[in-house]
Amino acid sequence: MKKVVKFGGSSLASAEQFQKVGNIIRADVDRKFVVPSAPGKRFSADTKVTDMLYACYALAEKDHDFTKEMTKIEERYQEIIDGLGLDLNLTPEFNKIFDNFKQKAGSDYAASRGEYLNGIIMANYLGYEFVDPAEAIVFKEDGSFDAETTNNLLSQRLADVERAVIPGFYGAYADGKVKTFSRGGSDVTGSIVAKAVQADVYENWTDVSGFMIADPRIINNPKGIETITYAELRELAYMGASVLHEDAIFPVRKEGIPINIKNTNAPDDEGTWIVGNTCQKSKYIITGIAGKKGFASINIEKDQMNTEVGFGRKVLQVFEECGINFEHMPSGIDTLSVMVHQSEFEAKEQSILYGITKAVNPDHIDIQSDLALIAVVGRGMKATRGTAGRIFAALAHANVNVRMIDQGSSELNIIIGVSNEDFEAAIKAIYAIFVEIQL
């Protein structure tokens, strides 16, 4: 068995956290490939090393003195080295980084040093080989990730390596210039490594015991999700549930490698399994609820719209030409609504309204703003009668007016539009009916 284990910043924020991580890795001989993040926050008012690096580099870029800021970063690492009692001197590395900052090596290079240095410490602490992702994780000239070249290079590089530490978050262009993924990107590195070594499992260690059915800021102490499919996770992540970087599922999904989200501070908790397919029923019919505020709906009416071929295309073309992505498009016989992000829409509002008028000559257009969308997601819904009925009964009891309904053809989710102000009440009502009362 081969496991790739990725540890997030809070799992590696201090020597104490490093020790927990060391114990976790040593407890299972299969944990052979380790992907560390940069040290995160030790307490809530603390600053992540990645943010310290960005701030430090911003000074360097303006030719300001950044010695004090760099020393603070060095101290964060020294504290970890001392706490672990390691015989490791990072001064030569810091001298090199200092010079590269002076020569304006770029903010991606700057941020990547957080993971790079933590990787060196981790490799030294575990006695594993250090593999620099700048040698094997490749970005194309346009800045996008080159999955194919990376997989070839990385699988070759790791073919004869028994155990290695591969820092997260970055790779390089073909010319060697360092490039990072977007924030939280060490999750993506873990997934890329899991694919390259054909791991049996990708364990993603963080500071929560997996995904919750609903946002804990809305539901007090929500139940956890034991197993979720990639498809369900996509729906929930898109709607705002965050624990894992959105792009982290793609490399492993096709390979059928499951992801296990685990808690460094409670390693015995099973966490959440993210899998391609499962016959395991979720405990509550629904797997999760997520949502976002801040949508607007542009409602278009025209007599006999149903007979006008190409009506929908012409309307959507206006949005496309204005560079606006649409989220949903519920329709009636003579009506059609397009739901968009309100902030994006507001900037182009008049051009869009004018464009629609010109394109389809509607009888009436009206705009509803301040809407929220809620996705109720669950692979179990397909085989269960009355899920929609239960949702809408619960919302009616909670005095929530439903403004839009959309059920995906996969029957994996039901999307409900409500007013922003009803958002929390709606989520509470849906959670209650499925999880607390289980009617």
Give which of 211, 217, 391 is closest to 287, Cα–Cα.
Answer: 211
Determine, following the binding rule CB under 6 A, whether residue 36 of this chain makes contact with ligand ASP.
no
178-186, 250-258, 267-275, 348-356 -> range binding ligand ASP (CB under 6 A):
178-186
Pick the binder of ligand ASP from 25, 38, 305, 412 (CB under 6 A).
38
Given the complex with ligand ASP, which of 183 and 397 has the nearer CB atom?
183
Pick the binder of ligand ASP from 119, 167, 171, 184 (CB under 6 A).
184
10-18, 131-139, 185-193, 360-368 -> range binding ligand ASP (CB under 6 A):
185-193
d(CA 263, CA 310): 51
DSSP letters spanning 378-415: -GGGGG-TTHHHHHHHHHHHTTPPP-EEEE-TTSSEEE
Q: How far is the CB of 274 from ligand ASP (least distance, A)?
A: 17
Side-chain-side CA neighbours of residue 148 (13 Å) = 1
End-to-end, the C-alpha distance of the chain in Å comes to 42
Q: Are 229 and 33 in contact (CB under 8 A)?
A: no
224 - beta bridge partners? 212
6 - beta bridge partners? 35, 204
d(CA 140, CA 395): 48
Task: Indicate if the alpha-carbon torsion angle 234, 235, 236, 240 is positive or negative.
Answer: positive
183-191, 192-200, 333-341, 370-378 -> range binding ligand ASP (CB under 6 A):
183-191
Determine, following the binding rule CB under 6 A, whether residue 76 of this chain makes contact with ligand ASP.
no
Given the complex with ligand ASP, which of 17 and 287 has the nearer CB atom?
17
Pick the binder of ligand ASP from 33, 128, 169, 319 (CB under 6 A).
169
364 - beta bridge partners? 301
What residues numbered 100-119 form the site for ligand ASP, per CB under 6 A? Answer: 114
For residues 124 to 163, the per-residue mask of contacts with ligand ASP, x marking binding by CB under 6 A and - elsewhere, is ----------------------------------------
101-109, 181-189, 326-334, 429-437 -> range binding ligand ASP (CB under 6 A):
181-189
Which parts of this chain interact with ligand ASP (CB under 6 A)? 9, 37-38, 48, 50, 114, 168-169, 183-187
